[in-house]
Structure 1
Amino acid sequence: MKGWLLMVVTLFSLSAQAVTLAELQQRFSQQPVLRAEFEQQRSISGMDKPLKSSGELLISQQKGLWWAQQKPFPLTLLLDDKRMVQTLAGQPPQVVTADNNPQMFQFNHLLTALFHADSQALEQNFALQFSDLGHNKWRLVLTPKTTPLDRLFKRITLNGEQFLETIDIDDMQSDATHIRFFNQRTAPQALTLDEQQRFAS
């Protein structure tokens, strides 16, 4: 009897810990603001050493995505529902909208969908394969099914636990990009005054 009861409790515990894409999306939707640091490594065919960069990012469900590369040179990317603004040190900002460059705007808009695990937005462009890896870890593999994404990428793989931890991008030219996120923070849940200024430009 005790053995049977232990088995039932164990099975219930395992099922309770199982992660689904719907549960993951709900979890991310309850994070109004996410702050993190990132390290990116890109391996390009024909180059001996990978290209490395690092910086920080800020995601607000109300304001959008602020991506600030700090090394090897400063580069800021601001993305909201209407525009994408890229600022390189010493140069005027470049503004991309859905009107003047719809393909670029669509591609960059996918970034926010990735961070929010927005299955509805992602399913418009990708076939989704979600896996529960156990111990609250998960993997989401995106295979492009629309043009031009299917001409650019073989697959995009997301891995995480409580937060999105890595993005691996394999493109059609056999290049690979690995992005690692760390030091994720959700408090405070509202943007600080300084953070609000980053979206005001």
Structure 2
Amino acid sequence: MLRKLVTALLTVSLMISSPLTWAFGLSDLQNTLEKSAVISGDFEQTKEIAMLSKPLVSNGNFVLSDKQGLLWLQTTPFPVTLILSDQTLRQKMPGQAEQVIHAKDNPMAFYFSDLFLGLFHADADVLTQQFSYELDGSPEAWTLVLTPTEAPLTKVFSQITLSGSHNIDALTMEELRGDKTTVTFSNIQHASALTDEERRAFND
């Protein structure tokens, strides 16, 4: 009788504790993502525009530095370099004068830039303050679905989805007007510092 009682208690205990033990939460996701001073890799961006029959596809590579900001190097269908820091956004195209946007002149552009960086790091403060979310999976394969709860995001996006494992593999942004942008990342590398070439690209 005692053995049966102990077995029953252990069974109930496991039933109660298992969901808590195995639940994969936002803090677990942040711990899962590899952290380093510099993250680099390749990207493919596909933008589906409601009024166009074919999506717009671009490819390139990126460098994300915790000190310098984001370097976004599009190579196809034509070369474009974007350099985002705390206070400036620079765009360079061959044969054209460099365009510079300052945070004080266009705060909305920097709002969405900061959002992108927060998403890339799965920043809990960004996510919980501006979205409701559903997170499914495990450290090896997870999907995070974000629904905006604060303006101006509620006026632009219907849903943002991230997926990956120890890195973010894909980011999909669905807009209220019907447009959809998907960015897939590959060949992700982590480093403790920028290379000389990367440093020159940020500073040129």
What range describes the TM-score normalised by the shorter chain of this pair?
0.7 to 0.9
Distance 1:121 1:47, change over 3 A: same
Distance 1:119 1:24, change over 3 A: same
Q: 1:56 aligns with which of 61, 64, 70?
A: 61
Q: Equivalents in 2 of 1:135, 1:162: separation in Å?
A: 7
Q: Partner residue of 1:195?
A: 198
Q: Partner residue of 2:84?
A: 79
- Contact 1:19–1:136, Cα closer than 8 Å, also in 2: no
SS in 2 for 1:199: helix
- Contact 1:64–1:112, Cα closer than 8 Å, also in 2: no
Q: Equivalents in 1 of 2:102, 2:34: separation in Å?
A: 25
Please tell me whether residue 43 in structure 1 is matched to residue 48 in structure 2.
yes
- Contact 1:20–1:130, Cα closer than 8 Å, also in 2: no
Q: Partner residue of 2:173?
A: 169
For normalisation by structure 2, the TM-score amounts to 0.83
Distance 1:128 1:63, change over 3 A: farther
Note the 1:60-139 alignment, pairs <5 A: 60-124=65-129, 126-134=130-138, 136-139=140-143
1:190: Cα distance to partner? 1.3
Q: Equivalents in 2 of 1:120, 1:135: separation in Å?
A: 20
Q: Equivalents in 1 of 2:34, 2:134: separation in Å?
A: 18
1:177: Cα distance to partner? 1.1
Q: Partner residue of 1:34?
A: 39
- Contact 2:83–2:202, Cα closer than 8 Å, also in 1: yes
- Contact 2:139–2:166, Cα closer than 8 Å, also in 1: no
Distance 1:44 1:116, change over 3 A: same
1:145: Cα distance to partner? 2.4
Q: Equivalents in 1 of 2:192, 2:187: separation in Å?
A: 16
**Cα deviation digits, residues 36-90 of structure 1 (max 9, x gap):** 1011111111322111100001111121111111100111111111211122222
Q: 2:153 aligns with which of 149, 167, 174?
A: 149
- Contact 2:132–2:149, Cα closer than 8 Å, also in 1: no
- Contact 2:29–2:139, Cα closer than 8 Å, also in 1: no
Backbone CA RMSD of aligned residues: 2.4
1:157: Cα distance to partner? 0.6
Matched letter for residue 144 of structure 2: L
1:92: Cα distance to partner? 1.7
1:158: Cα distance to partner? 0.6
Matched letter for residue 170 of structure 1: E
Matched letter for residue 25 of structure 2: T
Moved over 6 A (4+): none
- The higher radius of gyration belongs to 2
- What are structure 2's unaligned runs of at least 5 residues? 1-6, 8-13
For normalisation by structure 1, the TM-score amounts to 0.84
1:183: Cα distance to partner? 0.7
Q: Would you say how many aligned residue pairs link Structure 1 and Structure 2?
A: 190
Q: Equivalents in 2 of 1:65, 1:168: separation in Å?
A: 19
Q: Equivalents in 1 of 2:139, 2:118: separation in Å?
A: 24
